[in-house]
Amino acid sequence: MDFQLTDEQRALRSGMRDILAGRFSLRDAVDRVDRALWKELGEAGFFSLALPEERGGVGLGLPEAVLAFEEAGRALLPGPAVASFLAAGEVEGAWSGDAVVTAVDGTLVPWLAEADAVQGDVSGAVALRSVDPLTPLHRVPGPPRPGRGALLYAAEQLGSAARTCEMAVRYAGDREQFGQPIGAFQAVKHLCARMLVRAEVARAAVYAAAVTRDTREIRGAKLLADDAAVRNARDCLQVHGGMGFTWESEVHLHLKRAWVRAELGQRADEAQEALAAAL
């Protein structure tokens, strides 16, 4: 047993981080997918990571996919990345990033107007005024349809949780009040410590679920990662004080996206019921 990242996995993660770093402006991403970036991601193998080589994919496994989606979550990559990834072997152009694919998930459809293809029945879909400015949402009538990609959403949540922890720590080290960095105050320090703990527990759960592919572990991983992303974003906002409440700071975008993702792939109540039933 060696439950640590291999050198290749580390390289993959930093490669993804480089592609995403500063490549898109969050402000410009409202209501549209950056097609050039989508294509670039496709060429880098992002959507085809887990496709077997004989089908034109990269032939890596779920752990690698999870590392890539963690980076997407850190960077708040706009667009239906999870649905497009899952469609890679099913919809023409999805694996290469030429097609933007979305899917019905529960009662929601993200990015419906921008998508080239939709998986699922969207008749009667009604646009919501989405809480997340970077995720347009439609709602479809009828009974909810089970979502896919819970673990990939969990990975994005993990990336976001780790990122908001870092943002809080950086701000706490820079911002001074009462003649010292606010991070020297225990009330602030303890918020940050708890953020790290949440992110690290979620990380262990998400990575292990990617390795074992066990249904229960995937459920638990999504549950804990949802919680880490939402609560870390809230705490990050608190650490930023008034600055955190502004549209200008990125904090609210993490929180709002975390709320959206918590509804996709699998909801907390479903996970808890399923996990309880398995006890």
Contact residues toward other proteins (CB under 8 A) are 1-6, 9, 63, 165, 169, 172-173, 180-181, 183-186, 189-190, 192-194, 196-197, 200-205, 207-208, 210-212, 216-217, 219-221, 223-224, 269, 271-279
Within 10 A of 36 (CB to CB), how many other CB atoms are there?
11
Cα angle at 62 between 45 and 236, to 5 degrees? 90
Cβ at position 194, least distance to other proteins in Å: 7
Cβ at position 275, least distance to other proteins in Å: 4
DSSP-assigned beta bridge partners for residue 100: none
Angle at which helices 268-277 and 215-239 cross, to 10°: 140
- Closer CB to other proteins, residue 77 or residue 199? 199
Place of tokens 């479809």: 140
Cβ at position 73, least distance to other proteins in Å: 18
Angle at which helices 215-239 and 150-174 cross, to 10°: 20
Q: How far apart are CA 275 and CA 268, in angstroms?
A: 10
Segment holding 117, helix H or strand E: strand 117-119
Cβ at position 1, least distance to other proteins in Å: 5
Tell me whether residue 274 is exposed, middle or buried, using C-beta atoms within 10 angstroms of its C-beta: 0 to 12, 13 to 18, 19 or more. middle
- Closer CB to other proteins, residue 139 or residue 189? 189
- Closer CB to other proteins, residue 128 or residue 197? 197
- Closer CB to other proteins, residue 26 or residue 208? 208
- Closer CB to other proteins, residue 185 or residue 259? 185
Helix (H, G, I), strand (E, B) or coil at 181: strand
Cβ at position 189, least distance to other proteins in Å: 4
- Closer CB to other proteins, residue 90 or residue 214? 214
Judge whether 57 and 47 are in contact, CB under 8 Å. Answer: no
Cβ at position 237, least distance to other proteins in Å: 18
- Closer CB to other proteins, residue 137 or residue 150? 150
Judge whether 248 and 177 are in contact, CB under 8 Å. Answer: no
Judge whether 70 and 229 are in contact, CB under 8 Å. Answer: no
Cβ at position 7, least distance to other proteins in Å: 12
